[in-house]
Chain A
Amino acid sequence: MSLSGMYRDNMKNNRVLLGIIRHTISDQIRQKSFLVIFIICGFIVLGIKNCYQGNYTINNQQVDGGFIALGASKVMFHFVATIAMILSALFSMRILRKERDEGVQSSILSKPVSRNEYIAGKMLGLYAVAFSFMFTLHTVIFAIGFVKTGHAMPGYFLASMLCSIDILFVVSFVMLLSLYLPEFACFIIIFALGLFSCIGDGIYSVSQNQTVQQAFTQNSSQLPDISMWKVMYLALPKLSTSELFSSSFISTESFNYAGPVHPMINMIFYCTVSIGLLLYSFRKQDIA
């Protein structure tokens, strides 16, 4: 094939992929559930502006407004990121089944569209919807903090972008699960993974406390064997830890993590594996 022919084919494939992404985005954002969640979250996010209006005193000392803004903004960062992940799980768990039932899959795949293009289009479309949802609300939080206190948090946008790796993992992993399991089971599994990561981070954070470490050292003979849980915590996808790492860019605080693999590398690894498995599994499936 000539170079111009290959270029034409590539351009056509890109157009098809972009078309699938665009249609996926427009199909998702027109759903009532998306609009309802977006409006509710919007109200909650706007509600934090009241946090910046009062005077805060701790131990009879006036607290700097910027400190309060930073704390409130970090809490809201995690809240929005978690809702974005739940939203992406809700959309991903039903998209393939719904499109199969509505004849969309057979309609698209009877055209010269490869299964990889179809799955990539759906995955990137869902990622774009959930990421836009999260980034928009994060921008609103940043803007409120800046307007109310005059303190800008330049790391907020970088934190939001880094955190989107969790969304990519949730989308690809839930789509993979949805090929084999009912919708409800897919949601429960991803929810359990997120919860396990979150609890693990909490335990890890407490274990770093010096008093706790001393108490454990004194009573080490009575402690149960937690090596299996520790291995699981370190080996499973670090959804919550990577979110904590991302949020460390909001302020200048350091990120302390003693695990053998950095949480972002862990998440990149799991994203790659789940996207690879999703593409492979979908190629093996019969289209109804």
Chain B
Amino acid sequence: MIKIDAASKKYGALTAVDSVTFEIKKGEYFALLGPNGAGKTTIVKMLLNFTTPTSGHVSIDGIPSYQTSARAGIGYLAENQKISPHLSGYDYLSRCAEYIGLQNAESKDQIERILDIVGMRDKASQLSRTYSKGMVQRIGLGACLLGKPKVLILDEPTVGLDPIGIREIRLILETLRKDGVTILLNSHLLSEVEKICDTAAIIKKGKLLVKDKISSIIQGGENLEDVFIRYVQG
């Protein structure tokens, strides 16, 4: 579904991503882990064509990421999700629906359904400047779910959420599993990653250290946090 083949990204003398290769299969819940500045966000940017790889290839569903059609089935939640302060949550979702080409009636139905899923129906008509960080994240996640995407790219989706909110996001993601949605999750909340994802990759200084099933990389009585520290500090 997602294929990154020997992709590198250099900013002058700095190598943000160094010949990274991995593949995410259809329906897989994949976690991209690494310390700050490891190159996770750069990989996400290459997938979305926000930046061009210096070398290598990135494709989604067989379509090179530089083609507009590669983003047809993608939902993306940014690390620091923002909504223009003069828009309500409903307006924002409505605009996003328009950008993915949903017709009015279809768009209205989906927005109503999604507002229920993310628990924002009551607040949808309020201006986003009155929203908490968690509410903005929920609306952002809602925007990702518009158009029934095949791939979700979630960059720190639980930032700013309380434990109940985090659990709700996890439950939403779990319900998407039966629809065969592929998820790329970029998160520092390793306990949640362990509960949600099947596979993980750990990168450090732009290099891929490991990529395998989470159950395979955890040894003995370890948890994912122990594994992460072992690879990053080792």
Contacts and interface: CB of A to CB of B under 8 A. Distances in A.
Interface of A: 12, 15-16, 19-20, 23, 27, 30, 102-104, 106-114, 286-288
Given A15-B101, A19-B95, A109 B48 contact: yes
Contacts of B50: 106, 109-110, 286-288
Interface string B36-79: 00000000010011110000000000000000110110101010
| Residue from B96, B100, B101 whose CB has the most chain A CB atoms within 10 Å | B101
B32 interface: no
A108 B101 CA distance: 12
Given A15-B98, A109-B50, 11 more contacts: A15-B101, A16-B99, A16-B101, A19-B95, A102-B84, A103-B83, A104-B84, A106-B50, A112-B71, A286-B45, A287-B51
Contacts of A109: 48-50
B68 A107 contact: no
Q: Which 6 pairs show the lowest CB-CB distances between chains A and B?
A: A103-B82, A287-B50, A110-B76, A19-B98, A111-B99, A12-B101
A112 B84 contact: no
A114 B153 CA distance: 19
Contacts of B100: 111-112
B87 to A, nearest CB: 9
B86 to A, nearest CB: 6
| Residue from A106, A113, A286 whose CB has the most chain B CB atoms within 10 Å | A106
A107 B78 contact: yes
B80 interface: yes
Contacts of B69: 112
Contacts of B98: 15-16, 19
A112 B101 contact: yes
A106 B78 contact: yes
Nearest to A106: B78
Contacts of B143: 107
Contacts of A106: 48, 50, 76, 78
Contacts of A103: 78, 80-83
A107 B96 contact: yes
Nearest to A19: B98
Contacts of B71: 110-113
A1 B101 CA distance: 19
Nearest to B100: A111
A113 B68 contact: yes
B111 to A, nearest CB: 15
A286 B72 CA distance: 20
Contacts of B48: 106, 109-110, 287
B54 to A, nearest CB: 12
A279 to B, nearest CB: 14
A162 B143 CA distance: 41
A94 to B, nearest CB: 14
Contacts of A112: 68-69, 71-72, 99-101
12 contacts: A20-B99, A23-B95, A102-B82, A102-B83, A103-B82, A109-B50, A110-B76, A110-B78, A111-B99, A111-B100, A112-B99, A287-B45
Interface string B115-153: 000000000000000000000000000010000000001
Interface string B98-111: 11110000000000
Given A16-B98, A103-B78, A104-B84, A114 B51 contact: no
A2 B96 CA distance: 28
